[in-house]
Amino acid sequence: MSSSPQQPTYIIPPPSGANWKTPVLIGALALLAAANIFLYVQLDRMKTDSRSEFAKLSADLNGAMEKMRIDSSEEVQRSRRSVQELQTRLAQQRRAAEAAVGQAKIEAEKKVQSLQDKVSQEQAAQQLAIASVKQTADTATTQISNVSTDLGNTKTQLEQTVANLKRATGELDDHASLIATNGKELQALRELGERNYAEFTITKSKKPTRVGDVMVELKKVDVKRNRFTIAITADDKTVEKKDRGVNEPIQFYTSKARQPEELVVNQIRKDTIVGYLATPKVQTGRVGS
């Protein structure tokens, strides 16, 4: 037979003399309630403060973002304006450069054209100069040929004239002198170049006339007989040559040369004689003069 379970046995303590636990429990509950209320109040305040702080932070953040947006927009605007200004300046510089290049090109083309014109002018002038020189050379060649021919003719004529000259033996030496009887023959003697010649026309006077390096005084003239008388002064010595004829060489010495000088009268007119004085080329003094 089964036995029935045993029921627990509760021991009821005996009542104490004073019930002090109840007030303590009530006090603890009161404190717990107050603590809960305080915590709730603090939590609510913290929520309120948190909301305010969050709202403030949100407002500050929104303000900062707005400011950043505004600042960014202004910076973008400034950047855009700066870019536009640079683009404008660049366009102006490009136009100026194009204009300068165009002007420089025009100036360069003008200079090139000017140089081309100058070159053309110089070439034309050179061609003219060459043609002129050629013409001058041709003319000179023709003239030289003509001169050569003339010289040949002159030489021939001179030789013929000299061959036809009168020869006379001087009174002071045995040398036969060539005597010119007119201007053409005297010119032929000059071209031979053997002596110096000085022409003269002397009129009868009390004062002598200088001819070359001597003094000549006409003393007497006989037109009918073609005779004359003169006085020649050389080296302070006067010698009278009487009754001389036309184209007759009158010789006399001076201290300046070893060869005698010759005086020839070609024409006799009334109180006048016309002729020439021939002097040596080499003026070397004579020994013992």
Q: Quick one: pLDDT at residue 128?
A: 79
Q: Quick one: pLDDT at residue 81?
A: 84
Q: Quick one: pLDDT at residue 212?
A: 93
CB atoms near residue 221 (< 10 Å): 19
Query: What's the length of the chain?
Result: 289
Q: Quick one: pLDDT at residue 140?
A: 62
Per-residue pLDDT of the chain (289 residues; tens, 9 = 90+): 455 555 555 455 555 555 667 777 888 888 888 887 887 787 777 778 767 776 787 788 787 777 777 776 777 688 778 878 888 887 887 788 778 767 777 877 787 688 678 778 877 887 877 787 677 667 766 776 775 676 666 667 667 777 667 787 777 766 778 999 999 999 999 999 999 999 999 999 989 999 999 999 999 999 999 999 999 999 999 999 999 999 999 999 999 888 899 999 999 999 999 999 999 988 776 655 5
Q: Quick one: pLDDT at residue 276?
A: 98
CB atoms near residue 157 (< 10 Å): 13
Q: Quick one: pLDDT at residue 74?
A: 77
Q: Quick one: pLDDT at residue 117?
A: 82
Q: Quick one: pLDDT at residue 258?
A: 87
* DSSP track, 198-241: EEEEEE--SS-EEETTEEEEEEEEETTTTEEEEEEEETTEEEEE
Q: Quick one: pLDDT at residue 148?
A: 65
Q: Quick one: pLDDT at residue 240?
A: 97
Query: Which tokens belong to 34?
Result: 């107050």
Q: Quick one: pLDDT at residue 181?
A: 94
The side-by-side arrangement of strands in the sheet containing 261-269 is: 195-203, 272-280, 261-269, 250-252
Angle between helices 21-164 and 183-192 (to 10 degrees): 120
Q: Quick one: pLDDT at residue 289?
A: 53
Is-above-0.75 flag for pTM? no
Query: Which tokens belong to 1?
Result: 């037979």
Q: Quick one: pLDDT at residue 7?
A: 55
Q: Is 288 left (phi over 0), alpha (psi -120 to 50) or beta?
A: left
Report yes or no: 254 and 239 within 8 Å, Cβ to Cβ: no
